[in-house]
Amino acid sequence: LLSAEGLDARVIPVAEETRQSFTVFDRSRDAEFRFVLPGPRLREREIRALETALAELSPRPDVLVASGSLPDGMDPRRLARLARVARRTGVRLALDASGEGLRAGLEAGVWLVKPNLRELQECLGRDLPDLSSRLAAARELVDDGRAAWVAVSLGREGALLVGVGFAAHALALPITPVSTVGAGDSFLAGLVWELSRARSPQEALATAVAAASATLISPGSGMARSADIRRLRPGVRIDILEGG
């Protein structure tokens, strides 16, 4: 799949089977069920091989995305180490993690973090029942230096993007989701793509919401199509809450 997209892949071999996940759609109830099976337990040498491959990337990337749940056997503090290495080498780290991995990465400081509402609440240890409390939570992470940008995906309530001197809320598009698989990843991809090209944060947020929405209307594990992203993007409404 990566080759079909014209992307280079550096594969790190592991002894155990790669984790599998699949989606089942029940047409009789219009219900989607996601099955995420347990993944392999990584050995220390396999984790070190991954870290070595990242350190030896040439040319060094402008942006590195660490996304998904950590494999069994991997200490969450490895994400903190990755964040520190990235900052020291001038690489911007975008973190999409949960639980202890999210906390560890934020403690070290990252360029961008993208939790959903549940992950943000768990990370901070408190409920965030409304937009003002969610905005304050994201602002807290920015003001503390834990992230330069905080993007919070809110499902049907849209998304928040907060940075130094800037905050905006994007409303969700009025679409009928077909599948939720990959929507968060597409959101992050659109956001990173635009910010890495020095587009304005409101433009980046609009593209991110359009990319997530394009994935929501793609059946199963289908990816967003660029034509759908371009078609949906003009309809994304952005409310600027701070800056501009």
Do the bridges between strand 110-113 and strand 21-26 make them parallel or antiparallel, or are there none, so unpaired? Answer: unpaired
Instruction: Report CA-CA distances (Å) from 143 to 64, 137, 170.
Output: 22, 10, 21
Dihedral of alpha carbons 36, 207, 230, 157, sign: positive
Q: Judge contact between 181 and 34, C-beta under 8 A.
A: yes
Whether the Cβ atoms of residue 87 and residue 116 lie closer than 8 Å to each other: no
Q: Which two tokens stand for residue 158?
A: 């849209």
The Cα 127–Cα 72 span in angstroms is 28
Active-site hit among 8, 26, 96, 185: 185
Closest CA to 122 of 101, 108, 136: 101
How many angstroms separate the CA atoms of 71 and 76, rounded?
A: 10
Q: How far apart are CA 184 and CA 180, in angstroms?
A: 8
62 is catalytic: no
Radius of gyration, CA atoms only, the chain: 18
Span between the terminal Cα atoms of the chain, in Å: 38
C-alpha to C-alpha distance for 242 and 9, rounded to whole angstroms: 40
CA atoms of 87 and 94, how far apart (whole Å):
11
Cα gap 38→233, rounded to integer Å:
36
Active site residues: 185
